[in-house]
Amino acid sequence: MSLVTLGRFLFRYRGVVFPTLGLVVLILSSPRYFLDRADLDPWMDALGVLVSCLGLAVRAATIGLEYVVRGGRNHQVYAEHLVQGGIYAHTRNPMYLGNFLMILGWALIVNAPEFYLVALPLAALFYAAIIAAEETYLRDKFRGEFDAYCARVNRILPRLSGLPGTVRGMHFNWRRALVKDYNQFFMSILFLAGLVHWDDNVIGDPSGLPSNAQVLMFLVPWAILYLAVFVLKKTRRLQGDRPPRADQPA
């Protein structure tokens, strides 16, 4: 199977493949202290949370500055036009960069060999395959324009020069970022909190874990906020792009 063929398969079933991979690795993982030092565990947890939140921030900036419709059509790779602005002016695949940073953050929190030796390499392979499939499609559709874009912008590692100017020069659409990615944001924060406490419970002292009341004090407001965004989106009171006013041309 070629990398492109694998990428097309993974793109089609990515909603199942990636969660399944994460769940299997978590079940098989054996969390441990970094360098067998309990005093370093809070620092590793903090670093993991920071890296994962950086991944979420990359996703938010990508969607909020200049969103690309590359989510597929009929479970196939698809793009309306070649987006080259916003974060896409600095890396060709910012969403996958954000996703990988999130997975890397999880690995740092758990600090298990299974995460380092299985989850990270497989995630890298899977994203490389999906990118190969997408780039084959984009090159066939946009030809020279895509080749010129590739010559200017790295595939994954972002070009930091000019990034502050890009951010300042564009309007950040927080509504679009929230509407398009609220599910990922809410679930990721919830997962991070659970992962930190699960890790501490497995390798640390369970007596230091939060009480049921403390857990509910976090979960209930978080669930209410999630439902509020969900309802606002479904009732179209919160839209990613505001419709034009009656006195403005469509």
pLDDT digits over 200-219, tens only?
Answer: 888 776 666 677 787 888 88
**3 state SS of 240:** coil
Q: What is the pLDDT of residue 30?
A: 86
d(CA 73, CA 76): 5
**Predicted TM-score of the model (pTM):** 0.88
Q: How confident is the model at residue 230 (pLDDT cuts 50, 70, 90)?
A: very high
Which tens digit of pLDDT belongs to each residue from 35-83?
A: 888 889 889 999 999 999 999 999 999 998 876 665 556 667 878 888 8
> What pLDDT score does 39 carry?
87
pLDDT tens readout for residues 101-143: 999 999 999 999 989 999 999 999 999 999 999 999 999 999 9
Q: H helices within 143-173, ranges in order?
A: 144-152, 163-168
Q: Is residue 174's pLDDT more than 60?
A: yes
- Is residue 238 a contact partner of residue 178, using CB atoms and an 8 Å limit? yes
The dihedral sign for the CA sequence 138, 69, 123, 109? positive
Is the pLDDT assigned to residue 1 strictly greater than 80? no
The model's confidence at residue 163, banded by pLDDT at 50, 70 and 90, is: confident
The helix-helix angle for 14-28 and 3-12 (nearest 10°) equals 90
pLDDT of residue 74: 61
Asked whether the beta carbons of 114 and 28 are under 8 A apart, the reply is: yes
According to DSSP, the residues that pair with 76 across neighbouring strands are 73
Mind giving me the DSSP string for 102-131?
HHHHHHHHH--HHIIIIIHHHHHHHHHHHH
Q: Which two tokens stand for residue 198?
A: 């699960």
Q: Which residues pair with 73 in a beta bridge?
A: 76
**pLDDT band (50, 70, 90) for residue 242:** low
Residue of 163, 137, 56, 146 lying closest to 101 (CA atoms)? 56
**Is it the case that residue 246 has pLDDT exceeding 80?**
no
